[in-house]
Structure formats: structure tokens, C-alpha cells
Structure 1
Amino acid sequence: ENRRQANACTEIWFNELRLSELDEKSGWAALGRVDIKLADLGTLYVSGGTRSIGFGLLEQRVNERSRENYDQFDIATNLELGKLLPQKAGVSIPVYAGVSKVVSTPEYDPYDLDIKLKDKLNAAPSAQKDSIRDDAVDVRTITTVNFTNVKKNNTTGKVQKPWSIENIDLSYSYYKEEQHNPLIESNKVTRHRAGLGYNYVATPKYWEPLKRTIKTQSNWLSLVRDLNINYLPSLLGFRADVNRQFGSFRPRSVGTPKGFIPETYDKYFTFDRYYNLRWDLTRSLNVDYTAVNKSWIDEDSGRLDKGEKARMWDNFAKGGRTILYQQNANISYTLPTAKIPLLDWTNIRLGYVGTFDWLGAS
């Protein structure tokens, strides 16, 4: 009996959990690949695969079967674009390009683990369906483009000179990766790498000005008669590599607006130079020199605005800030005692090795 004037209210909940049998719903999977030969231009590769919910291997148990729809698509090509130019041009342009995409769609919503994703999408307003799907699926896309050792080949058969364009090669690579899933709102990485190389290699040609002047074959005059000099280096090389990466990462904030958690960045910009010189000045005097200069292009943190980009490229034009410099010099000289009759049984070689290392503060 309720003797008070206020109403009394009672609420009772009954929860029931039943387990009748395992879900033995089957799934399916498929793989496909096509290789297309594009005459002498190159090859095109296309492949794909899919796996549905419930698919599993013969040795897998029922509870080990796939609980997601998995789709994968890849397309790649290797081309020699130099084939599009006249053969007499002798230009080589090797290209590799590829795109890979993987999409994984779970059976159950990752935030409401007892609700199937399709049921949640059916019950959601139309304006929210795309957002719910975007939060639930795991998508990863990779794009790659490479130009490797682009150069002009020697088609004339003539000996290359130090100024020949055939001594130059170019390379460039581009890599971009994008990913988002229930834990990651956005993960993007972009890498650029460019290289310029110069490499001149020649067989030493020695000039002997007195060989025709002194006709006698006397061994006592061979020291003078065989005087020689090589006016071109045997090897002259230079390479510049530029590496640029910009990555941004933002974890997914559950229950808060998108973009609530700030982005973090992973980026670097380097400019490295390599130098090589080998010069056989005479048959007896040889010089070897190598040097490495590694530089860092300073830039502001985070995403750059127009003014900050201008400062960054100004630092690049100046060669960057050197953080490592190394050089090695090796000079060797063989005394001409073998050309003196009384000392022709001797072989005396002198050498000098010098190194220099410099490491900058970070």
C-alpha cells in the first residue's frame, strides 16, 4: 500500500544470453593476375584478391575464420620510355610505376562490437553513413614512381670526353602512403628522392715528348726518353642526392570531433654530395681523392606556409647546413730506379695517405 501522495515507480531488467551453436557461415576467396607484354616498351602487371567473411583454410577452426571482407588490388608497370624516341637518340628512360590498395571491412563495428557494421549503417541517417564506414574500415594505399639512371647512351662509338653528355645520369623516385583505420584518423607519408650523377672514366693516354727526339735505345737515356705525362684524369665523378620526406600522423579521437587531437609530423630534408677523382699524372705518379659532404636543409616545424617554404628553398640553394664532411687523399709515386741499369733490380714506391673528418653539431 502506498500511503504517500507521490507515485512510486519500479523498473526491472531481465537479460538473457543464449548460445545455441557456432556460426558456420562459409565464405569464399579469389586471386587473379594478368601480365601484359607491351612489345619492347615494357610490361604491365595487374593483380587482385578478395576474401569474404567466413572464409578459412581447411586446417583452421570455425572461430579462426575471417571476420572481415578483405580486398586487394595492385597495378604496376616497367617501361623503357626511351623506346618512344628515335633509336639514334640513344636516350634511356627506365620507369617503374605502381599503385597498391588494400581495404579491410570488418563484420562487426569496431566501436560497438556486438553490432554488425551493415546493421549499424542501415540504422544510421544517410548523412552519417559515410563517416561511420570511414571510421570502421582499414584502408592503405601506396603509390610509387621511379625513374632510374636516365641518361643518353653513346651511340657514335667515339671515345667520351669529360664534357660529353653521356657522362650524366638522372634519377628520381616518388613514394606516397596513406592509411586510416579505427585507431588512426590519418597517416600520410610522402618521400621524394632525386639524384644527379656525373661519371667520366677514361684509359690513361701518356704524352712522351722526348720519345721521338732521342733515337738511341741506350738504357742510360731511358730515364729521360720515357718522360711522360697524362693530361686527363682517369676517373672523375660527382653525385648529388636530395632526400625529402614529409609525414603527418593523427590518431583517431573516439567520442570527440575529428581533428580534436593535433597532428604530429615526421620530416627531413637532406642534400648529400660525393666527389671522386683518380688521376694518373704519369706512369709513376698516381693521385686518388674522395670526399663526402652531407648537409641538412633547415626548415620550420609543422606544415609550412608560403614564407616558410621560401626560406627552406633558400637554404637549399645555399647547399644546406653541413653536418658531416669526410675526405681522403692517396698519393703514390714509384721511383724510376728500374730505368737505371745499375738499379733496375729495385722497386721503390712512396706513398702518402691523408684523411680529414668533420662532424657538425645537431
Structure 2
Amino acid sequence: MSFHKAQRRCNIKRRFLPFFFTILFFLFSNSHHLTPTSAFTLSDNEPIEETTTLDLLQISEMRVRDIKRRLVRTHGYSNTELAKMLDKKELIHTLSYEEHKVYQNIQEKKKRQKVKRGIITALICVCVVLFWPLVVQVWEVGSVNFVVYTDKKKYEISRCNELSSKKGYIGILLLFLLDMLQLWLTTSVLLSWFISKNKYFFPIPSLSIRPAALLAASTGGNAGPLGQYGINIGSMLVTWTLRYVKSKVEDWMGKVLNKAMRAQRKAQREWESNEEKEERKKAKALRKEERRKRREEEALKERQQKVEDAKQRSASSVVTNSTTANEGEGEEKDGGDEKKEETERTTDDDNVTNGEFYSQGEVPSWLDDGTKEEEQQSQQSQPYGDSGFDELD
């Protein structure tokens, strides 16, 4: 029961996690605001940010030179334009108008950013809800791979500890660094499809190959605009180099551990007694005998399997030959019957042409078109002669 309860709790958590992330996205999307860019000093005691705007009350409390200074520095007024404004009220209205325009621009920018952030948040939430099973599967696969990798490294470290090999520790460290470099390179290549440049990306050399330019150079033509497009093979070369170096480090590490294991065995054998040496030799001989017997059994099984396969193939060939022979006999019988029917038809046609049926006064049914009945009617005698009608009268 406890196992089923725990499984139900896990399923409930998995179901509610997308909604939890959705709520978090909406909360963070509404909590951000624009940050000021720089500061503008109005006076010695009152710092005012450049993006902040002043209302009419604040402007009316300012001095004339401060108003002119803000118009010049912030809004780009010239001295000639300011010289035309003789009254302070005119300066106040001008500055308030410019500040109001800046305030409207800032509010419109905030609205655009909020709408953009809301759309992006909605799309992210929809993608998270739709692809949540895929995300869970990827997470599980990644966690399994991480556990496998950590177990492998733990085993390697334990072996180096057992063999007391310092070079083995150096090899493990080098392999770890190479794995991290490969992970960094893979992540940078994947993110480069969405982000053009970033200082945290792997420094990939630019080695572009332009297929259109190569084809044009071989044919002697002009590649045109397609000659400017190319494929960067720098990431491929870096990947191949890292794999090659990793394979060499693994080979070197295997040799080092093998050498350390042999040295350890040799050191252990130096302190063995004669009885222990004899027991070790006997155990070695027994292992060799077991391996030999195992190989013989495997060879015998393979021979038996080959014999059985040959028997099955021969039986299947016999069955196929018998079926083909029966089919041939059936075809011959069908051919003989067809030949008999054809000969009978030809004899009937010959009899008709020779007039055998007409000599006997018989007409075949397939030639009877009503001529025989007409002849019989014509041969019958008339009941009355030419004067028969007169006699009846």
C-alpha cells in the first residue's frame, strides 16, 4: 500500500508541476520594470535620473537656469531657441511639454515590453505544458546517464586507489576535463542556433567551406550570391580532435593501470611461500582446464547446430521439389484435357463442312436458324387446290 501511495504522490506532483511553472512565469513577468540608464544632476543636492520625468509642480519650483540647462542637455534645445523664450512661464510650459512627451514614450515602451514579455511567457507555458512528458523523459535519461558516468568514475578512482597509481589519477583528471570540454562544445553548438554570439560560448575557429564557390571554381563560372554562403567545419574539427585525444588518454591510462597491477602482483608473489606458489599454480592449471573444456563444449554445440541447420535445409529442399513436381503433373493433365477438347472441336467443324449432318437430314443445334421448318411447311400439300374456293362456295 505504501508503494502505491508513493507512486500516486509522484504522479500528482508530475501533473501539477506544469501549472506551478506557469504561475511562476506569470508572476515573474509582471514583477519586472525598466531600470534607469544613467543619472542627470539637476543641482548639487538633488540627483535626478535621466529616465525620470518631472511634473508641472516640480518644474515650477525650478530656477530659470536649471530649466534651460535641462532643455539643453536632455531635450536638445539650442541657445538661439532658448533666447527667444523671455518669460519663465514659457520655459515652464516648454519643459513640461517635453517631459510629458518623454513620459509617454517611456510608458509606451513599458507597454510594448509587457506585451512582448506576456506573449513570450504564454508561449513558454504552452510549450512546457505540451512537451512536459518529453521533458520528463529527457530528465530521466539525463539522470540515468549522470548516474552511470559517476559510477564509472567512482570505479576508476577505486581501482587507482587499490593499485596506488598516481598516473591513473592524472588520467582520470584529464578524461574529466575532456568530457567537460565536449559538453561545453556541444552546448555552445546547440545554443548557437538560437543565440548568435555570447562570450561564454566555446571558442570555435571559423573554417568555412563554400560549396558553390568550389563548384564555380571547378567549372570556371561565377558562383554569384550563393558563393558567400558556407559551412563552418571548425566545430567538427574540434570535436574530432577531442575524441582522438580522449581515446589516446584512455589507452595510456589502461597501460598505466595494467603496469601497476602487474607490479602489485609481482610484489605480492615475492612474499609467497612455496605452498602458496604451488596452490596458485594448481588454481591456474584448473582455470586453464575449465577454459579448454568450455571451448570444446562451445565447438561441439556449434557443430551440432550446423548439422541441424543442414538437415532442415535438406528437408525444406525435398518439400519444395515435391511440390514443384506435383504442380508440373497437374499442368500436364490440364494441357492434355485442353488438347482433347480442341481435337473434338476440329472434328465437328470438319463434319459440318463435309455435309455429313445435311446428308442425314439433321442440322446441328448451333446452326439451326429456322430454315428447316420453312422447308417442311413448303413441302406440305395445300388442303385445297386452285378451285377449292369455288367448291366451298
TM-score range normalised by the length of the shorter chain? under 0.3
Structure with bigger strand share is: 1
Question: Which protein, 1 or 2, shows the higher relative CO under an 8 Å CA cutoff with sep ≥ 6?
Answer: 2
TM-score (norm 2): 0.18
Structure ID, larger Rg:
2
Structure with bigger helix share is: 2
TM-score (norm 1): 0.20
